[in-house]
Amino acid sequence: MLGVLGELLLTAGVLVFLFLFWQLFWNDWVVRGEQNDRGSQISREWDDQASDAGHDDPIIPEQPDDGEVFAQLRVPRFGEDYVSQIAGGVSKAVTLDPIGLGHYPDTQMPGEDGNFAIAGHRNTHGAPLNKVAELQPGDAIVVETKDGWFTYRYRNTEYVQPSQVDVIAAVPGHPDEDPVDSVITLTSCNPFMSTAERIISYGVLESWTPRADGPPAALTDGVEG
């Protein structure tokens, strides 16, 4: 009888470790690969639809519906083949878990004056913002749409309470001011595997590249340092 109990306890221990392995490694590797593959496919489709439009002014995407993929994030610092889909809304059920990154519905779109604010997992579900704390000032954060690429340059990171919503204001931290710059804000959880705080990373829009011109140098040159 005691032998059976021991075997059950051993089995339970193995299951716990197996779950950790699944959550921390398997889940992220497999889903990360799926998101990267899907990203390459979406880029090819957008290449096929490319027109000569957008040479003068950036084409600002329309506000997306919940769960509608309208852009992709490419960050050379996160890996050469890294690409994550961005869809409307920040609910886990519709956007963050099945798709990847979500756009805060009341924030601006890329290219507009104001704040393009997106959220994503730092662990599990492909962990699109897993390496967000490794960004270094000047790193390229590129938002790819069907019409071209918005290249942002990473500026700084802050750690805030989950209730601090002014980080996604049009002027981050100053909800009463009118925007003059285009910025991007990435929000994720901090520390890893925790709900205690949020890690907030900012970038400033540097340039627009229409799709007809091919990917911007920020993507083709790789990372420095």
Helix, strand, or coil (residue 28): helix
189 catalytic? Reply is: yes
**Which helix (DSSP H) or strand (DSSP E) does residue 20 occupy?**
helix 2-21
Catalytic, 55? Answer no
Residues comprising the chain, all counted? 225
Q: Establish how many alpha carbons lie within 13 A of residue 52's alpha carbon, considering only the half-sphere containing its beta carbon.
A: 0
Q: The dihedral of CA 102, 165, 106, 172: what is its sign?
A: negative
Is 190 or 209 the residue whose CB approaches other proteins more closely?
190
Reduced to 3 states (helix: H, G, I; strand: E, B; else coil), residue 25 is helix
Tell me how far, at minimum, the Cβ of 163 lies from other proteins, in Å: 7
Look at residues 126, 157, 97 and name the one whose alpha carbon lies nearest to residue 24. 126
Choose, from 32, 103, 122, 198, the residue flagged as catalytic. Answer: 198
Minimal distance, residue 3 CB to other proteins, in Å: 8
Per the listing, tokens 């096929």 go with 48
Q: Which of 121, 122, 125, 211 is catalytic?
A: 121
Nearer to other proteins by C-beta: 66 or 213?
Answer: 66
Q: Which of 32, 77, 103, 189 is catalytic?
A: 189
Could you list the residues that contact other proteins (CB under 8 A)? 3-4, 7-8, 15, 18-19, 22-23, 26-27, 90-92, 96, 102, 104, 119-125, 129, 160, 162-165, 167-168, 187-189, 193-195, 198, 200
Answer yes or no: are the C-beta atoms of 160 and 200 closer than 8 Å: yes
The yes-or-no answer on residue 174 being catalytic is: no
Closest to other proteins by CB, 27 vs 36, is 27
Residue with Cβ nearer other proteins (193 or 217): 193
Which residues are identified as catalytic?
121, 189, 198
